[in-house]
Amino acid sequence: INFRKAYYVQSAPTLRECPPETGAEVAFAGRSNAGKSSAINTLTGNGKLARTSKTPGRTQMINYFFLNDDQRLVDLPGYGFAKVPLATKQKWDKHLSEYLQERQTLRGMVLLMDIRHPMQEFDTMVLNWAVEVEMPVHILLTKADKFKRGKANGTLLQVKKHLQEAQVEDLVSVQTFSSLKKEGVKELERVLNQWLAL
Ligand code: GTP
Ligand code: MG
């Protein structure tokens, strides 16, 4: 797949307004500010594709980027953003779990976590939803540039160990990633190429 050919198609406020369920798609989920939109831009080599921001809560709609007619990347709003009203948050939680359970074309979820605080409560919950419906998950420990390599690898090992203990390594994989340094792109591409195969 040529990820550099990605183009924006649509923003959907709710699942019902998403494109028809044909082909294959991969969703980018994670806490607000984890670096989802940045990762999509890094992957596609287009810094202007998905809007990013220092302020959490930048992405508020389900944004669809097409790689071609049948393969898509989906940028989801972040969860856990304190300034969003509780009712909105709860609605989003429901949306996300429904999306994981019901979206026929969803092949896998890239779950982004800031390497400085991985596996927060809501991350674990989302991970559990995915495992329940046997949805493959690839965790990106983002902003790896914030740590020295040894420390970054230490966190990576900790998360791997956690996944082993939870007996989910068959379904859940993990890597370090940095949009700033453009590190981990090849590894991510390998996973997405497998998931999006038609
Ligand atoms: P929401 O749309 O609010 O859910 O956030 P998001 O997950 O899409 O995060 P976004 O990509 O907008 O990035 C949030 C902030 O983190 C921005 O200020 C980015 O510049 C910064 N950021 C993203 N990736 C990296 C990275 O790899 N390294 C560093 N140092 N900063 C990053
Ligand atoms: Mg975003």
ipTM of the complex: 0.99
Q: Which of 71, 82, 133 is nearest to 105 (CA)?
A: 71
Distance in angstroms (rounded) separating the CA atoms of residues 171 and 75: 21
Distance in angstroms (rounded) separating the CA atoms of residues 25 and 104: 9
The pLDDT, as a whole number, for residue 82 is: 65
How many other C-beta atoms can be found within 10 angstroms of the C-beta atom of residue 114? 18
The answer to whether the predicted template modeling score (pTM) of the entire model surpasses 0.80 is: yes
Pairing mode, strands 71-75 and 24-30: parallel
Distance in angstroms (rounded) separating the CA atoms of residues 126 and 63: 19
Render each residue's pLDDT in the chain as its tens digit; 198 residues.
999 999 999 998 877 788 899 999 999 999 989 999 999 999 999 999 998 888 777 677 889 999 999 999 999 888 877 677 788 778 777 888 888 888 999 999 999 999 999 999 989 999 999 999 999 999 999 999 999 999 999 999 999 999 999 999 999 999 999 999 999 999 999 999 999 999
Q: Measuring from atom 3 of ligand 1, which residue has the nearest CA?
A: 57
User: Structural domain boundaries of the chain?
Assistant: 3-195
Q: Where are the extended beta strands (E) located within the chain?
A: 7-12, 24-30, 62-68, 71-75, 106-114, 137-142, 172-176
For residue 119, the Cα-to-chain-centroid distance in whole angstroms is 14
Measured in Å, residue 53 CA sits from the centre of ligand 1 at 7
How many other C-beta atoms can be found within 10 angstroms of the C-beta atom of residue 48? 9
Q: What is the CATH number of domain 3-195?
A: 3.40.50.300
Ligand 1 atom nearest the C-alpha of 34 is 7
The pLDDT, as a whole number, for residue 155 is: 98
Ligand 1 atom nearest the C-alpha of 52 is 12
Residues with C-beta less than 6 Å from any ligand 1 atom: 30, 32-38, 52-54, 56-59, 77-78, 142-143, 145-146, 178-180
The pLDDT, as a whole number, for residue 88 is: 76
Q: Would you put residue 57 in left (φ > 0), alpha (ψ -120 to 50) or beta? A: left
Which of 38, 41, 84 is the best mutation target for the ligand 1 pocket, counting ligand atoms within 8 Å of the beta carbon and taking the most? Answer: 38
Distance in angstroms (rounded) separating the CA atoms of residues 58 and 53: 6
Q: Please give the torsion angle defined by the CA atoms of residues 194, 76, 61 and 42, in that order, rounded to the nearest 10 degrees.
A: -70
Measured in Å, residue 165 CA sits from the centre of ligand 2 at 31
The pLDDT, as a whole number, for residue 51 is: 87
Which of 32, 179, 185, 188 is the best mutation target for the ligand 1 pocket, counting ligand atoms within 8 Å of the beta carbon and taking the most? Answer: 179
Distance in angstroms (rounded) separating the CA atoms of residues 119 and 114: 9
Q: Please, is 165 exposed, middle or buried when counting C-beta atoms within 10 Å of its C-beta (0-12, 13-18, 19+)?
A: exposed
Measured in Å, residue 167 CA sits from the centre of ligand 1 at 30
